[in-house]
């Protein structure tokens, strides 16, 4: 089954692209062979109207150029131009100024984020039930829904990441929906950092929400089991990317949305599955979703394991043992959420307890923290910027320390 799908996908890759006037309209055309290896484009690089190849912070590597040539692609498109070094354009994380602390800890915004989160979770649960029962999906309908998600995430990233830990842990029935929702939010945050335009973020968000759709054909007792799986059960798990890709292809979903369902378990060093792709052969959306869902899995509770705190999960990704993940995508996650991620409860060098409420775009090690039990003279909750040689984070707090 996997080998059959592999051949189908490679045929897609090997077919030269059709002349896509929309992709070229208003964009510069670059011959792949003439792009210096390792240069950074000042704007996103596109293969055609369906695929974003590299964001401004991602070097156009020699490996990517070779992969494109192997697939028969000779040209790429971009509104930018290649440069030897990456030059940030303003605030790399797209963050608002810290400014008035009330904009960070606005209780109305927190409530809106909670309501959005619950609504998105319910939508996804209903969607997955429909897939199980009817095997029915409509891309245009989904894209409209994901457009609202993208808009909300871009405006409310800091609040969404704070409320995630307040939402009840998923039970067996809602596990896949919860994982999809959390992964989608994180993927859109990463895509926003990488300056993907809105229509690409909609594709990315749709792909992220459906990246585990193949698991809906597998009994929950298999993928939630804490025991050793039988060879047949292992085969089912390893086959879910192919099942998901085939399902989306049969429903006429764009290839840009279907490929991440197939590739989200591929790894930069070729150790992933089902096709053992590496580096430049992995689609950009797949790279983003791989990091997003890995971080979500590390930092969320499962029926068979306890959650790690966001800091520990972030460090595991930063270690990037064996170079499994794209370094640029990992960096985008870190700069978007900070090494001490938004929502994390922490002990400060002053002995006070607090919660991380925003990132520091200059240094992800020193985020903005709300201090528990302290108010400003105007009665608003007190927030402080941590900084080297001053107020710093000592360590994350345990659940017992927070509740105690």
Q: pLDDT (tens digit, 9 = 90+) per residue, 118-130?
A: 999 999 999 999 9
Q: Mean pLDDT over residues 230-253, rounded?
A: 91
Helix, strand, coil in percent for the chain, rounding step 5: 50, 10, 35
Please name every residue paired with 353 in a beta bridge, in sequence order, or none if there are none. Answer: 347
Q: Reading across the β-sheet that carries 381-385, which strands appear in turn?
A: 381-385, 368-375, 353-358, 345-348, 393-396
How many beta carbons lie within 10 A of that of residue 399, not counting itself? 12
Distance CA 268, CA 282 (A): 8
Closest CA relative to residue 342, chosen from 105, 139, 11: 105
Alpha-carbon torsion, ordered 192, 197, 198, 203, to 10 deg: -90
Q: Between 287 and 78, whose confidence is greater?
A: 287
Which residue reads 């895509």 in tokens?
A: 191
pLDDT tens per residue across span 23-45: 455 788 999 999 998 888 888 88
**Residue 50: pLDDT band with limits 50, 70, 90:** low
Q: What is the pTM of this model?
A: 0.75
pLDDT tens per residue across span 53-104: 777 767 788 878 887 887 778 888 888 888 887 655 443 333 333 334 444 5
Six-digit token string for 324: 């499994």
Which residue reads 């971080």 in tokens?
A: 295
Q: Mean pLDDT over residues 156-171, rounded?
A: 71
241 Cα distance to chain centroid: 17
How many beta carbons lie within 10 A of that of residue 66, not counting itself? 15
DSSP string, 333-365: HHHHHTTTTTT-EEEETTS-EEEEEE--TT-TT
Q: Mean pLDDT over residues 332-352, rounded?
A: 90
Q: Mean pLDDT over residues 156-165, rounded?
A: 82
**Residue 49: pLDDT band with limits 50, 70, 90:** low
Q: Mean pLDDT over residues 324-340, rounded?
A: 91
Q: What is the chain's length? A: 404
- Percent of the chain exceeding pLDDT 70 equals 82
**Residue 9: pLDDT band with limits 50, 70, 90:** very low
**Signed CA dihedral, 208, 18, 61, 36: sign only:** negative
The pLDDT of residue 45: 84
């Amino acid at each position: 089954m996997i080998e059959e799908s592999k051949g189908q996908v490679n045929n897609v890759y090997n077919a030269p692209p059709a002349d896509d006037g929309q992709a070229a309209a208003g964009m510069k055309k670059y011959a792949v062979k003439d792009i210096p290896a390792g240069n950074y484009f000042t704007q996103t690089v596109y293969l055609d109207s369906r695929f974003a190849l590299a964001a401004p912070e991602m070097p156009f590597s020699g490996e990517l150029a070779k992969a494109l040539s192997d697939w028969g692609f000779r040209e790429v498109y971009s509104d930018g131009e290649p440069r030897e070094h990456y030059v940030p354009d303003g605030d790399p994380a797209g963050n608002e100024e810290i400014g008035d602390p009330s904009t960070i800890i606005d209780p109305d915004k927190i409530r809106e984020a909670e309501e959005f989160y619950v609504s998105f979770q319910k939508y996804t649960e209903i969607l997955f039930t429909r897939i199980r029962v009817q095997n029915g999906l409509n891309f245009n309908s989904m894209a409209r829904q994901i457009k609202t998600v993208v808009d909300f995430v871009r405006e409310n990233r800091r609040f969404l990441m704070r409320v995630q830990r307040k939402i009840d842990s998923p039970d067996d029935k809602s596990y896949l929906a919860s994982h999809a929702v959390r992964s989608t939010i994180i993927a859109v945050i990463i895509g926003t950092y990488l300056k993907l335009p809105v229509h690409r973020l909609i594709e990315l968000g749709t792909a992220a929400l459906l990246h585990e759709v193949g698991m809906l054909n597998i009994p929950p007792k298999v993928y939630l089991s804490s025991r050793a799986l039988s060879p047949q059960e292992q085969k089912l798990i390893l086959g879910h990317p192919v099942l998901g890709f085939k399902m989306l292809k049969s429903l006429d979903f764009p290839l840009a949305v279907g490929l991440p369902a197939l590739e989200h378990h591929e790894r930069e060093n070729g150790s992933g599955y089902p096709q053992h792709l590496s580096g430049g052969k992995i689609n950009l959306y797949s790279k983003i979703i791989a990091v997003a869902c890995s971080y979500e899995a590390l930092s969320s509770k499962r029926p068979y394991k306890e959650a790690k705190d966001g800091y520990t999960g972030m460090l595991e990704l930063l270690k990037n043992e064996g170079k499994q993940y794209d370094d640029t995508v990992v960096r985008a996650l870190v700069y978007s959420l900070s090494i001490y991620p938004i929502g994390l409860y922490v002990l400060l060098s002053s002995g006070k307890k607090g919660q991380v409420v925003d990132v520091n775009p200059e240094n992800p090690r020193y985020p903005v923290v709300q201090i528990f039990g302290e108010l400003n003279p105007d009665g608003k909750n007190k927030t402080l910027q941590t900084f080297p040689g001053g107020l710093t984070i000592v360590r994350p707090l345990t659940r017992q320390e927070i509740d105690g």
